[in-house]
Structure 1
């Protein structure tokens, strides 16, 4: 039908949370699950990722679930285990979802190289693909893409900027 999107339109709620490293944008669904977390200065990228993953998306200014905000605030206040309590949901390709699920399994206070993550997924030659999927991660911090580092231990590529990545890793007890 002419003029109709290939995707049904999605409606999500958009809220903001002040953190020590900037204003976090929180996108949640009707059940309160986190669909995206990005930084206010990267809102355009977040909206583009939402469009790529869900098609036409309407974002309504509405408070995120209290539990999500409390858990994120707790994390930023030093209770690092709080991230595990946040319900999240992602779209993306099956490969992207596999990478993002693996990110959530990297323990707080540790890092992993892109190559080690690819190997853990039984795809040791897919280092670049893992890096690309990591770069398309819509839920920063909760799906901890900041815990991925270069094979030589260097900080590489973080969608929210390397200063935020450095802060997050130090906050979790990783010396960088």
Structure 2
């Protein structure tokens, strides 16, 4: 491997570790700022949503993915391309209904340095940022979705499972005006 390719790989690893540590510090600060887990969860979801609506442009520009024809293809692209690109993991995808999918992470990179939830914070959704980011990105490509944690390894589950329910395809406002 060339020296520059090795350096790029090292930089990617360093920046991922820095992101994970910074994210943990962010959640810790939110726990200090807010008494209720629901407030922290809402804040993380809102932050994730804002990240998702901005991240989708970078994703579409760099990934060269084609327009998805159905929800199944969309779920596969989220797992195989987006998660791999931004978090370095590839969750498996399971389908429960024609519009419901689960992303199953055997290893959640956001909890690399976290052993357990803080005491008294059992309803904290530590990785709630992920749900918001997925929801925001999907909304930007005109797909309304509900995104929730079904299982969480920090709460004693074997894996982390994120559920995505596609609600409807949102019609583009430009298309409505032209009709």
**TM-score scaled by structure 2?**
0.30
Larger-gyration structure (1/2): 2
User: 1 or 2, which has the higher helix percentage?
Assistant: 2
**TM-score scaled by structure 1?**
0.30
Which is bigger in relative contact order (C-alpha 8 A, separation at least 6)? 2
